[in-house]
Structure 1
Amino acid sequence: MNVRYRADIDGLRAVAVLPVVLFHAQLGFPGGFVGVDVFFVISGYLITSILLQSAGSDRFSLLDFYERRARRIFPALFAMIFATLLVGAWLMIPSDFEALGRSALATLLFVSNVLFFLEVGYFDVSAHLKPLMHTWSLAVEEQYYLIFPLVLHLVAQRFGRRAVVAALVAAAVISFGLMLATAGTRSAFFLLPARGWELALGALLAACPGLSPRSRRQAEALSLAGAVAVLAAIFALDDQTTFPGLATLLPCLGAAALISAGRGHAPLVSRALATAPFVWVGRLSYSLYLWHWPIIVFGAYGALSDPSLLEKGIAVGLSVLLSALSLKYIETPIRRGRVFSSRRAIFGGASVAFTAIAIVGAFTYVSNGVPGRMPQNVAQLLDWQDAAVDPSLDCDYSDDVRLQAHDICVAGAVGATPSFALVGDSHADAWAPGVFVAAQELGLSGYQIVLGGFRPYGEDLEARTALVVDALRALSVETVFLIGFWSAEATGFIYHSEVVETPRVIAGNDERLFRNLEMFVNDLPGKRFVIFDDNPVGRPLDRFSLARHWFARSGDSREGLERSDVAIYRTVYQPVLERLAAAHDNVRYVPAFVDALCREGSCPRVDPEIGALYRDGNHVSVAAAVSLVPLFRSLLNEALSAPSH
């Protein structure tokens, strides 16, 4: 069952794995994630080449196939999962460790792709808290090979090789269609039905030797085109690309072209891939893929800022070192039969390891991440609960149906005719208790129109903005309090993924924010707007980020942001709001939140008199909102006593 060894395919593995590792380490390679697609094509080609040697004959043995897979996949995988659980017990807070236990069980059962499909997107920031996130691709492969060998054998046995090719073409077309129909979704990314065509493409190469170039010149041209396609995918695509989608053709067809061109000929690109450095990395690729992501996750776990260039380099270097050790002392001895030499031994050893890891993973999961590991200060931080809001002052988020019906929530003094409206996103909702306590003390009430992520005329929010405008026109109030996550809108900054020390300012966003707000104001000429600044945001204000920091990196107990860090973002959006107020008589800008929440040089997470000022790194607590009741009361008095606009 031996297939002719091709050094250029090992080299292609290196081209696949290095961009993945460097992309994950944030060391360039914006489309490095396509390396997984290259792996799928390689896998489909090699495994099908092996299977076709015996498929349809009496020599075919599923046990032989699965023994080879067990020797190849299990040893390093089980070692990585077990090591990850041990390090997780040492570093992770309970909620993260519980999730790790759950994902360890899913990885053992090769259904982690389904778990992560249900939990999180590949490019989402929370993926950086999941050390086994990368095992989704192994799950896709093993699900494929659970079914494929037997189906291949039965089709070949009954209908012959041509039927195998026809079945592969049909499966690839159906899977490709599903991928296009669900392009860019989590299901297309994580699940086998929309990924199977990539494995089937490699399988078709194995089943159709005639697809190889017939001359050296054709092989040179095909290999060059394949290399350009793969490199274009690695450097031209990024996390904003609709993926999987049509763009997935670039790495997959590129990999197929390189595999085909190197079959029977030795074009220049194939010879380059067959050189010692590429082959060495290629042979390391499976272990490197397994070990790099947990190292990157744990290396950054609990940090309150992004890793430095040196730290990223150390993570990659440690990944290579650990992978080399894994290859030499775990993978190779078992794959070559020097350890667990018999089939009974390998399956028995795998069963014992599987059971042991499953017990640890299950215990971690059912015990809610073993919270008894936490020291008292971390446990208190995690157990903190925000204050409850008086039901008469608490409104649900608005939705499109209620907006269309002008069914707007009213809060404040019971029975009072609404005299103002609070409009905005989740930041507005966080400040709402303070606004409506102030209204209640004045015997007033107001409307609340709050939608998650809402900014007037923000990206993809034109239709929703029109509903808000229409609702406000229908309300007999003049004063509108407008609160929003201006930091994100003006700079592209979201505290989970970027830290204040490294702002990601997007050119033109400030001008776009001004234009959008001006359109909103112009749509409502009869209203008087009071627009507030944004509250500080950042990981050091988030209790979960702080808990990770305290537990994983004990000794640094800082709570809060430097005021200069907050100013980085405020200096981008504040001129926009000031300019808007200067250009419109019915707009007033009130820069109150940062001044209220920050001291001379810092913006603390906890105030000794008020308590915790933030419920997470993005939203203020109820106590913080209520602490500004005097300000809101004064603003309401001023606004409602002013002459009609």
Structure 2
Amino acid sequence: MSYSIAGAQPLLRVDARLTATKAFRLDINALRALSVVAVLGYHFQMPGFAGGFVGVDVFLVITGYLMTGKVINDLSLSRFSFHDFSMMRMRRIYPALVVVVVSSAVAGWFVTLPGEYLRHLRQACYALLFLSNFTFDNDNGYFAMAAQTKPLLHTWSLSLEWQFYIWMPLVVCLVWRVASGSKSKLSAIIFALATVSAASLAWCLWQSQHDAMGSAFFSLRARAWEPLAGGLIAAQEIRRRVNGDSEASWLKTPIVALSGWVLLVGCIAYPLPESKWPGVLTILPILGASMIVGARQGASEGGLLGMSPIQRIGDWSYSIYLWHWPIWVFALSWLSLRGYSVDAAQKTLMVLASLALGAVSFRYVEQPFRVRRDIWTPHRLMVCSGVVFALLLGLTTMAVLTTGFPSRLPEYLLPAEVARKTDTPRDECFRNSNSIKKATETYCSFGSAETPGRPSAILWGDSFANQYLEPVSAAALANRIHGLIATQSACRAFIDNPIRNAGDQPPCRQFNRSTLDFVLAQGQPSIVVLGSNWGDAREISALIDKLLASDKTVVLIMPLLNIGFDVPQKWFENQLRAGRAIDEWKLEADPGLTMSDLRHEIAQALSKHQDNARLIKVDPQAIVCEADQCYLVRNGQSNFRDTAHISNVNAMQFKGAFESAFRLAVHAGTETKD
């Protein structure tokens, strides 16, 4: 018999009803199995799993249902403890996570570049603190490393889940203490959770339309409604049992459960738009999972969902999820280093490896920590966790001091790392996709000091403009030109049109409107340097027409190369396979690499200005390409820092082209005045 707190005597009569709900849910375990298989299929790029990333959303519904139900049940039985709840979750999540994090740190030592390894160790520390969703959010911008270089990227969901474990019990306990009477307490909890869920969903839908950085993907604020969908089902079930109400027969029917399974499978198979996730379409898998959980069908051991393979995968699902992504990342790295592509057979092996390691982790890591509480007492669990984290933090500190332990690699590989780790120049002045920057001034300056009577310039565009800032600044200084920086991530320069640019992000459209207004409002800056990830010759032509008509001199930076792969990474791999330094690497200048079609379209669109001295073109392709060959690496240095952007180490090779352009611009401006 349990004991209740004062004023809660009526709960004594419902203890049996509350504890009777603890029977193992085979249908929920089958839902876990489907979810983890969906995630594996999506991440391993297997046919039929185009929307498999929704498996993470389904996991959130399950954890919300189980954990919210546990908190409310324990409060009803006067036995809830934040310490006990946290330790229960710690036993369930932390040991297996530690093994995967430590294993990934060991594997990364042998296959990653110094800068990449340093980032990985930092991310590992955040993962063990359940804060990795924040660090990956900060690394989610335009210059973020590819997902395939982050072995612990998937731990963002665990961090978000743990943060839910913190605030959900706090809200439920606070409402429980404030409300009076068991029935009123439950109704108040449902109202509070529903209010928070509605606010979170509203925020999610707003963010999906206005968040250019994709921060909503990692945000608990935008995702809290997902676990709360399950939590509200649990709370409603408990209230019905306490009130002695019927079991909502219309909900707990096979047709509801079957509809939920069909909806969920459809979401997994259909190519849902991950770039707008979570958003309005996220309601579909959450609804499907909620229908399955709420219907409570298909839980018999002799049924389809109770089949042993399905239940075993459900049991192993957490460990499978932990292991699958590092397997994928490190397997891709290993195969790439040896020049192999990833085919169906190799993907199958990765799936089998994920299942096998998941089974081993469940048997030898998860279960001992959960069951052998005589050995793994709370004190020992916390001490061991602290020791592991301290060791990892020490390794990370050493990695910071040595910049990623470069001595573990042959010296000839280090220039590849130097090229990659250089980021956009004057980063404090480069706006992110939400048009936010660290510098306080509206437009940062470059080049010479502002001089009355001398022309001034503005560099306008996205990262493909900002990457030339060092040679542009040096050329401006040589020509006594004062310049301003107007560059924003993933925001090409264009004249905003409500119809034509409806698909562009609002911050980008506003940035281009304000920049154009600034340029046209006065005589200076008289020189406009345009650079962007160009794709539409008509858009370029319209902007240049507008500027030339306003007596501006335009310096147009032409497209460089369409490479399509990470140059420093591939250079690193090629040298490692060869076992020696490769100081020169050229590719055939075919039409795809040189973007000849786009360049021809730009030339055609601007042919009407061919005799206009105030339109000056800078062609960086003429500097990195000779005859029918284009240099990716020259004189032991990479020309590129990623798949398309130039590296800072070789940026000054373009200085001469910009010096010539500025001399022509100054001369054209003088002739116009005359």
TM-score in terms of structure 1 length: 0.77
Q: Does 1:109 align with 2:129?
A: yes
Report matched runs for 1:119-518 at 5 Å. 119-120=139-140, 125-146=145-166, 148=168, 159-160=181-182, 163-181=185-203, 183-184=207-208, 188-209=216-237, 214=249, 219-234=253-268, 235-241=270-276, 243-263=277-297, 273-301=305-333, 310-311=342-343, 314-315=346-347, 317-327=349-359, 329-333=360-364, 336-337=367-368, 341-345=372-376, 347=378, 350-351=381-382, 353-367=384-398, 368=400, 369-382=404-417, 411=447, 417-419=453-455, 421=457, 423-425=459-461, 426-431=463-468, 434=471, 445=481, 447-448=483-484, 450-452=486-488, 453-457=491-495, 459=504, 460=506, 461-474=508-521, 476=523, 480=527, 482-485=529-532, 488-490=533-535, 510=536, 513-515=537-539, 517-518=541-542
Note the C-alpha offset of 1:134.
1.4
Q: How many angstroms apart in 2 are the aligned matches of 1:354 and 1:400? A: 38
Equivalent residue, structure 2, for 1:626: 655
CA contact (8 A) 1:539 1:546 kept: no
TM-score in terms of structure 2 length: 0.74
Q: Secondary structure at the match of 1:240?
A: helix
Note the C-alpha offset of 1:103.
2.6
Residue 594 of structure 1 aligns to which amino acid in structure 2? Answer: Q
Equivalent residue, structure 2, for 1:498: none
Q: Secondary structure at the match of 1:489?
A: coil
Cα pair distance change 1:549/1:222, threshold 3 Å = farther
Equivalent residue, structure 2, for 1:31: 51
Cα pair distance change 1:195/1:159, threshold 3 Å = farther
Note the C-alpha offset of 1:43.
1.7
Q: How many angstroms apart in 1 are the aligned matches of 2:310 and 2:436? A: 55
How far does the alpha carbon of each residue in 1:352-372 deviate from its partner, in whole angstroms, 9 at most, with x for none?
642443133212221113343
Q: Does 1:597 align with 2:606?
A: no
CA contact (8 A) 1:56 1:153 kept: no
Q: How many angstroms apart in 2 are the aligned matches of 1:41 and 1:258? A: 10
Cα pair distance change 1:449/1:68, threshold 3 Å = closer
Q: How many angstroms apart in 2 are the aligned matches of 1:196 and 1:638? A: 60
Aligned residues between the structures: 606
Report matched runs for 1:474-623 at 5 Å. 474=521, 476=523, 480=527, 482-485=529-532, 488-490=533-535, 510=536, 513-515=537-539, 517-522=541-546, 524-525=548-549, 526-527=551-552, 529-536=554-561, 538=563, 543=568, 546=571, 557=582, 560=585, 562-564=587-589, 567-568=592-593, 570-584=595-609, 586=612, 590=617, 592-608=619-635, 613-614=639-640, 617-619=644-646, 621-623=650-652
CA contact (8 A) 1:84 1:294 kept: yes
Cα pair distance change 1:379/1:642, threshold 3 Å = same
CA contact (8 A) 1:422 1:447 kept: yes
The sequence identity of aligned pairs, in percent, is 24
Cα pair distance change 1:212/1:521, threshold 3 Å = farther
Equivalent residue, structure 1, for 2:15: none
CA contact (8 A) 2:193 2:232 kept: no
Residue 157 of structure 2 aligns to which amino acid in structure 1? Answer: S
Q: How many angstroms apart in 1 are the aligned matches of 2:417 and 2:515? A: 37
Q: How many angstroms apart in 2 are the aligned matches of 1:332 and 1:247? A: 37
CA contact (8 A) 2:299 2:305 kept: no
Q: Secondary structure at the match of 2:342?
A: helix
Aligned CA-pair RMSD:
4.7
Q: How many angstroms apart in 1 are the aligned matches of 2:447 and 2:83? A: 68
How far does the alpha carbon of each residue in 1:10-51 deviate from its partner, in whole angstroms, 9 at most, with x for none?
221122222322333344644332211111111222344555
| Stretches of structure 1 lacking an aligned partner (at least 5 in a row) | 491-509
